[in-house]
Structures are given as C-alpha cells and as structure tokens.
Amino acid sequence: MRVEILGGGSEIGRLAVHVSVNGANVLLDYGINFDENDIPQLPLHIEPKRVDILTLSHAHLDHIGAAPLLYISSNIKVYTTKVTRDLVKPMFEDFLNISGYHLPFEYYEVNKLVQNVETVRYGDIIDEGNIRLEFASAGHIPGSMMTIIHGKRKSLIFTGDVNTIDTNLVKGASFNGVKAEYLILEATYADATHPPRDQVEKRFIEAVKEVLENNGIVLIPAFALSRSQEILCVLKKYGIEPVFYDGMVREINKILLSNLDFLNEKTLFEDAIVAYNEVRGWYIRKHILDSPCVIVASAGMLKGGPALYYLKRIYENEKNAIFLVSFQAPNTPGYNILATGSWGEGGVRVKARVEWFDFSSHAGKRELMEIVKSIENLEKVIIVHSEYEPASKLAQNIMEELGIEVIVARNGMRVELED
C-alpha cells in the first residue's frame, strides 16, 4: 500500500491523497485552497490514468474544488453520498462565478464529474477489482463520509473532515469497535479545545436576545453550507424571531430539505425553514433593516455576498451586532474586525458589538486523541489538513501517550505501508 500526499500536507484545506493498493489506485478528495489574493491553489498534479476511483468526503471546496480537472480527459468513477452529489453543482456555480478565470476547467467538467457519481450509503462495502472500500459517517456536515480501504490484511481509514460531537444538524462520527492499522487523520484543530456545545449555544442566544431587546439588528455571517443551517436550528430551538436568511444559504437549504436522512434534528431544521424568512429580492433586503431582527447571511468571512451588504449598513450603530460563527482566515474582513475592531481599506471603526462564537464542526484536540485511542490495532497515523506546528504537537502527544507512530504529512510525501 502506498500513500502519496498531493495536498493538505502541513496546511489546512486542499486535501488530496492518492493510495495505491493491490494494483488499484484511489484518489481521496481533490480540493483547493485560496492564497492571500483569493487565487485558487490546486493540489499537486496527478495523471487521470493513475486514478481508478475517486471518493469525495464532502462538498466543501477544500475537498472537491480541483476534482473537475480530472474530467477534462477521463471518466473516473466517483463514490460519494447522495447529498454531497446534489451539492456539487451549486458549490461550483458559485466558485466558477467568482474564480472561473483562474480555473483550468469549466462547468462542462463539473457536469461530467456529477454524471460519474455512484452514490453510497454509510456502512456500504464495495468490491471494485482488487480493492475493497467501505464508507462511514464523518459527522462533519450533512453527507460527510470517511473512506476505509481494505488491503490484503490491513486497513486504512481516511477521515476527510471529522467531528465526533453531535450538533443539531449532524450526528457525530463514532469510532466504537472500529479496527484499522492506518489512519489518515484531519487535524484542523490539533491544538485547540472547543468549549462544550450547549454552553456556546446558551451564550450565543443570550447575546442575540440582548441585542434584539435593545432594538438592534444581529448580523450573523456564516458559511452557506452547514454552518448557516446549524445557526438557524439553534435560533429556532430557543424561539428567536424574526430571523431572515440571505445568499447561497437559500439554495443549500432546499437541497438539505430533500436529503433529511442526513440530518440529526430533522424536524427542528424543517421547523426553522418554515418559521424563518428567505430574503427573495432587493425589496425585502432593503426593508428588513427597518426593525430589530436576526440576519444569517453568506459569506462567512464577510468577503462578499449579502453579508457584506448588511455589514455596510449596520456597523455604525452600537445597538447592532455582528456575531461571527465561522473560522476567520487571516486578512479577511471578518478576521480584521475581530482583531482590530475596524474594516475596509481606511480601517473604518465598527461601533456595533462584535463577538466570535465557537460553532466548529471539526474535532478538537481532545476528540482527536479520543479517535486515535478508540481505533483498535492502530499502528500508524498520518496527520493531514493541519498547520505544521499544531500537528507536530499532536503527533508528540499521540506518540508519548499511546505509543503509536505518527507522520506529519507534507505535500509530495510518499509513505509505504504493508497491506
């Protein structure tokens, strides 16, 4: 068994891992990252003829963003869940609109990718030539899956992005009774401890209520896929009204409504969509700011979209609030508002209340250690989707506490394993 890291080595995102076993070649994700000028960064090149099967762990662009590239000259079979397949087109529509100029593929290749999808369910086992694949829930976002590759005697688990904590939207991944010799583990939060989820929810709801009671507007910039729906569920659970949602979240909501099987609190999500208001056009968009309300809008880091439109209209009033609920990459407007209290080129001062809430959908340090501890027969861990320093610390902890060998991946690295 040979593992080759094509992306996601000592970096968060752009995950791409090539595994050869028994003469078969599997590509696990083929994602992208953005550099500081928002130019998409592709993973290392792979010739399509070196890929027999592609599996897509979930629909975030850092896992699927470069995959259409393979379809310029091939028809590689794709295994993924139904909801991920349904999400591929809207994710790429947005991506191609914004970054199409920099991309070596077009909508034609995205379509071809989708046509080659064979959907799988959690628990499915597929024998394909000399290779056996198994799929399990990863608990990260609706439809997120782990791929398990079975060699002659040994097995390898690829987590994709993973979360073991239950959220309203998705049930956490379980590693009870799981046996594997090798683990390719995402470790976005290798060195961070997330506070308990119910505490985060309560603190968040109290803050929202304070702003509404004081006649303010709460803007919640959130990623369109998953974080927005989790926030709508939390607001609904605590009876917050009125709530509006705007941007790409509208389309994603519709796809999730037709894939309720992948959700944890299905009824809560349906109730939220019934009770809350979609912003359908400019008339509503302009008028919702006339009275106190909550607005959930994309983009999550305030780089554009309706979230930016609302920010420009509410930041000057101290009655209003901007509650950030997603990861904020350095140098994005969201990051700068948190770090400096100002935004834009001239550094305009934000008078509205600004706060960040940890609604992470990734395992933290504690949960990552638990995952490694739970898997029986584990011999080797390869850490991906993590910055180098925190990954090294986690590696140290795993080796010292559990005596398991750990490799911190780098792009271009090859690891030979017994199969």
End-to-end CA distance of the chain: 5
Angle at which helix 249-257 crosses helix 82-99, to 10 degrees, equals 170
**Is position 134 an interface residue for Zn ion (rule: CB under 5 A)?**
no
Q: Taking CB under 5 A as the criterion, which residues in 371-410 touch Zn ion?
A: none
Nearer to Zn ion, 63 or 150 (CB): 63
Least distance to Zn ion from the beta carbon of 144, Å?
7
Nearer to Zn ion, 226 or 320 (CB): 226
Is 185 within 8 Å of 391 (Cβ atoms)? Answer: no
Q: Taking CB under 5 A as the criterion, which residues in 228-267 touch Zn ion?
A: none
Least distance to Zn ion from the beta carbon of 240, Å?
26
Least distance to Zn ion from the beta carbon of 43, Å?
13
Spatial distance between the Cα atoms of 196 and 145, rounded to a whole number of angstroms: 24
Nearer to Zn ion, 225 or 234 (CB): 225
Least distance to Zn ion from the beta carbon of 91, Å?
11
Q: SS3 for 67?
A: helix
Nearer to Zn ion, 161 or 265 (CB): 161
Nearer to Zn ion, 4 or 161 (CB): 161
What count of other Cβ atoms lies within 10 Å of the Cβ of residue 406?
20
Q: What is the per-residue binding string for Zn ion in 35-74, x denoting contact by CB under 5 A?
A: -------------------------x-x------------
Nearer to Zn ion, 362 or 365 (CB): 362
Helix or strand holding residue 92 (H, E): helix 82-99
Least distance to Zn ion from the beta carbon of 283, Å?
35
**Is position 161 an interface residue for Zn ion (rule: CB under 5 A)?**
yes
Least distance to Zn ion from the beta carbon of 8, Å?
8
Going by C-beta distance under 8 Å and a sequence separation of 6 or more, which residues neighbour residue 315?
Answer: 322, 343, 348, 350, 351, 352
Q: SS3 for 55?
A: strand
Going by C-beta distance under 8 Å and a sequence separation of 6 or more, which residues neighbour residue 326?
Answer: 221, 222, 223, 227, 300, 301, 334, 359
Nearer to Zn ion, 11 or 181 (CB): 11
Number of residues that bind Zn ion (CB under 5 A): 3
Helix or strand holding residue 217 (H, E): strand 217-221
Least distance to Zn ion from the beta carbon of 59, Å?
8
Is 180 within 8 Å of 24 (Cβ atoms)? Answer: no
Interface segment toward Zn ion; rule CB under 5 A; list 161-169, 194-202, 264-272, 277-285: 161-169
Residues at the site binding Zn ion, with contacts judged by CB under 5 A: 60, 62, 161
